[in-house]
Amino acid sequence: MDISKLPQLIPTKPQKFVSIIIPTLNEEDGIEKTIRSIPKKRLSELGYNSEIIIVDGKSTDLTREIAERMGTRVILEKRRGYGRAFKTGFNEAKGDILVTLDADLTYPAELIPEYIQALNEKGLDFITTNRFSKMQNGAMDAYHRFGNDLLSLIMRLLYSIEVRDSQSGMWIMSRNFIQNINIVSDGFSMSEEIKIIAFTFFKALELDGRYYKRVGKVKLATFGDGWRNLKYLFRYRSLIKGAVKLPLDLNQKESIDVDADPYVI
């Protein structure tokens, strides 16, 4: 995709605030570069003020020290869990728009301005990024890929939602979305849960993403977490009724026109 063909990003007056939320557990290898990869300057040129929130799960390495030295907001979340970390981050965030990243340089932080542009232009509540549309060689082994594809297929079948990458961890969300949902999972299953809620009850889209080779040690236990995520897809069918804080303007969902010109990044 030739990025130069994207519509000219016209700077708007500074009224928007973006919170970038990053969960960390022993990520001293990738945290500094991850923070530097966030295009804060470009965001402010486009009229967005931004904050970076690090939600640390009691790392035993220098993750917090590095993040504090770089002037980010570091929150210590003693309770374990990827989902738990995001729940705390969402509560702490001041932004009108919330963006999530891992602290391991795998996600394209450089594309945050374009994703925010798409969120606003299409009046969306939620965007998730498809890692498989542009994956760096060696970023994910075949075993992992098979597991991801299987989870995504089962999610599509169980919830009739069009998501190619059910486990992607880069989302761009409106405050309206975050304020109106209840998230149950404290673990990695939260990633599939938030997509099910977004695509079932809100205006959501999956856009092309990228996935780069990981820096630092993986925290995800491939088989254990994969199996837990699979079981959670079935279990969540009985939990989904509590997903949205009512009253929600239920005709919100109807008006999305996915057939309009595709917003490819």
Ligand X SMILES: Nc1nc2c(ncn2[C@@H]2O[C@H](COP(=O)(O)OP(=O)(O)OP(=O)(O)O)[C@@H](O)[C@H]2O)c(=O)[nH]1
132-145 per-residue burial string, b: 16 or more CB within 10 A, e: under 16: bbbbeeebbeeeee
> Are 119 and 44 contacting, i.e. CB atoms less than 8 angstroms apart?
no
Cα 57 from Cα 85, distance rounded (Å): 7
Smallest distance, Å, CB 191 to ligand X? 8
Q: Running DSSP on this structure, what letter comes out for residue 38?
A: S
Closer CB to ligand X, residue 220 or residue 244? 220
Q: Give which of ligand X, Mg ion, none residue 57 binds (C-beta under 5 to 8 Å, depending on kind).
A: ligand X
Smallest distance, Å, CB 84 to ligand X? 7
Q: Give which of Mg ion, ligand X, none residue 260 binds (C-beta under 5 to 8 Å, depending on kind).
A: none
Smallest distance, Å, CB 124 to ligand X? 23
> Are 171 and 86 contacting, i.e. CB atoms less than 8 angstroms apart?
no
E strand or H helix that includes residue 190:
helix 190-201
Nearest to 240 by CA among 177, 197, 199, 204: 197
Between the alpha carbon of residue 82 and those of residues 76, 180, 208, 217, the distances in Å are 13, 20, 23, 15
165 binds Mg ion (CB under 5 A): no
Q: Give which of Mg ion, ligand X, none residue 56 binds (C-beta under 5 to 8 Å, depending on kind).
A: ligand X
Smallest distance, Å, CB 25 to ligand X? 4
- Interface residue list for ligand X (CB under 6 A): 23-25, 27, 55-57, 77, 80-82, 85, 102-104, 106, 169, 214, 218-220
Binders of Mg ion in range 94-133 (CB under 5 A): 102, 104, 106
Q: Give which of Mg ion, ligand X, none residue 122 binds (C-beta under 5 to 8 Å, depending on kind).
A: none
Closer CB to Mg ion, residue 50 or residue 106? 106
> Are 93 and 17 contacting, i.e. CB atoms less than 8 angstroms apart?
no
Closer CB to ligand X, residue 82 or residue 232? 82
Q: Give which of Mg ion, ligand X, none residue 112 binds (C-beta under 5 to 8 Å, depending on kind).
A: none
Q: Give which of ligand X, Mg ion, none residue 16 binds (C-beta under 5 to 8 Å, depending on kind).
A: none
Closer CB to ligand X, residue 25 or residue 124? 25
Smallest distance, Å, CB 144 to ligand X? 7
Which single residue brings its beta carbon nearest to ligand X?
57
Closer CB to Mg ion, residue 203 or residue 226? 226
> Are 39 and 112 contacting, i.e. CB atoms less than 8 angstroms apart?
yes
228, burial (CB in 10 Å: exposed 0-12, middle 13-18, buried 19+): middle
> Are 194 and 125 contacting, i.e. CB atoms less than 8 angstroms apart?
no
Closer CB to Mg ion, residue 29 or residue 104? 104
Number of residues that bind Mg ion (CB under 5 A): 3
Bridge partners of residue 208, in order along the sequence: 130
Residues that bind Mg ion (CB under 5 A): 102, 104, 106
